[in-house]
């Protein structure tokens, strides 16, 4: 990564022009032979061409930001597959595959999921172990030229904070996005570790995240409610990557019910509210991202021609 790309990504976000991230990768990998229980990141070593195909599909769908297949690229996860020693290679190749396709047409967002280890006092993992694991993963991603790091699907605020400080240890300037996963309960939204949205927003902002928000766990309508809470709780840019609804088990496998059209209508609401980055999570594909692209372009045209009108609407929906 050059400082110029990092500052241009943050400048794009701050300009108020919404940015489009990509959708899910898992379905592509399953279509290309990934079996349940396999390590998805083994594709980075064995089938980098598939990763390029995925990136190309999202680039052609209009994504401004494309994620890497490194969600499970923590050495603490890779050790379950005997791949810990290949942590650097897996993360480097994940970034390289997207970069080869994106060139200077899209930003490369390196994904970091949870380590899978539970921190003390709930589990038996020392914070230092998690910090070192994130540093190792992110070092390889930054060295390979990632434009941003996305710490995603987090449920433990402490683990997310450790990830943010690991990224800052590695790079003083790379933009850090952090998205957490919430469940809708009768008392409101909580992560499975009991973190509320205001706690997440305040804790991540204090840790030094540049962008905060939510991914996974919910369909687009719950994400509209989650986004509203984030926007009320922080002045940082907010990112939302929604699942295509909640998974439904069918005889042929898991199905995600929300169509591109259904989701795109609600994406328009996210943009009106002031969400800075939208994209998809489980069950979304290039069709969804293309539909989001159309909405973003339409909103950008409306803002260019009738700026006062959207600002009025913005105040009303907040």
User: Footprint of Zn ion on this chain (CB under 5 A)?
Assistant: 216, 243, 281-282
CA-to-CA separations, 118 to 157, 243, 259, in angstroms, rounded: 12, 25, 35
Residue at token pair 């898992």: 26
Cβ neighbours for 142, distance < 8 A, ≥ 6 positions apart: 1, 110, 149, 170, 171, 174
Nearest Cα neighbor of 4 from 149, 104, 114, 143 is: 104
Query: How far apart are CB 68 and Zn ion at their closest, in Å?
Result: 15
Query: How far apart are CB 195 and Zn ion at their closest, in Å?
Result: 18
Q: Are strands 238-242 and 248-250 parallel, antiparallel or unpaired?
A: unpaired
Which residue lies nearer to Zn ion by CB, 236 or 282? 282
Query: How far apart are CB 266 and Zn ion at their closest, in Å?
Result: 16
CA-to-CA separations, 252 to 128, 225, 249, 255, in angstroms, rounded: 43, 32, 8, 9
Which residue lies nearer to Zn ion by CB, 171 or 218? 218
Residue 281 — left, alpha, or beta (φ > 0 → left; ψ -120 to 50 → alpha)? beta
Residue 146, CB half-sphere, CA atoms under 13 Å: how many? 32
Which residue lies nearer to Zn ion by CB, 203 or 279? 279
Query: How far apart are CB 179 and Zn ion at their closest, in Å?
Result: 10
Which residue lies nearer to Zn ion by CB, 55 or 281? 281
Query: How far apart are CB 77 and Zn ion at their closest, in Å?
Result: 16
Q: CA 216 to CA 109: how far, in whole Å?
A: 17
CA-to-CA separations, 239 to 9, 20, 90, 165, 180, in angstroms, rounded: 14, 10, 26, 20, 10
Query: How far apart are CB 317 and Zn ion at their closest, in Å?
Result: 25
Which residue lies nearer to Zn ion by CB, 140 or 278? 278
Which residue lies nearer to Zn ion by CB, 74 or 179? 179
């Amino acid at each position: 990564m050059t400082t110029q790309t990092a500052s241009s990504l943050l400048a794009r976000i701050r300009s108020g022009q919404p940015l489009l991230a990509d959708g899910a990768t898992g379905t592509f990998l399953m279509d290309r032979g990934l079996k349940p229980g396999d390590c998805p990141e083994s594709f980075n070593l064995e089938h980098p061409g598939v990763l390029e195909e995925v990136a190309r599909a999202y680039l052609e769908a209009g994504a401004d930001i494309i994620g890497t297949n490194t969600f499970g690229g923590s050495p603490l996860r890779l050790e379950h597959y005997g791949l810990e020693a290949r942590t650097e290679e897996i993360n480097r190749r994940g970034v390289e595959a997207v970069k080869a396709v994106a060139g200077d047409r899209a930003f490369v967002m390196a994904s970091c999921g949870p380590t899978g280890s539970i921190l003390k006092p709930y589990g038996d993992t020392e914070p230092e172990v998690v910090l070192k694991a994130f540093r190792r993963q992110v070092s390889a991603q930054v060295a390979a030229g990632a434009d941003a790091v996305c710490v995603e699907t987090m449920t433990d605020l402490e683990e997310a904070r450790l990830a943010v400080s690991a990224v800052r240890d590695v790079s003083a300037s790379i933009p850090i996005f952090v998205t957490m996963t919430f469940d809708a309960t009768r008392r409101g939204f909580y992560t499975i570790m009991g973190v509320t949205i205001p706690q997440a927003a305040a804790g991540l902002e204090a840790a030094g995240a540049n962008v905060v928000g939510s991914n996974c766990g919910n369909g687009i309508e719950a994400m509209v409610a989650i986004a509203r809470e984030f926007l009320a709780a922080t002045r940082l840019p907010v990112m939302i990557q929604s699942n295509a609804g909640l998974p439904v088990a069918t005889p042929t496998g898991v199905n995600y019910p929300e169509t591109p059209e259904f989701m795109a209508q609600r994406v328009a609401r996210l943009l009106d509210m002031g969400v800075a980055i939208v994209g998809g999570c489980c069950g979304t594909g290039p069709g969804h991202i293309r539909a989001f692209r159309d909405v973003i372009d339409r909103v950008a045209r409306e803002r260019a021609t009738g700026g006062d009108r959207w600002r009025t609407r913005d105040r009303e929906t907040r």
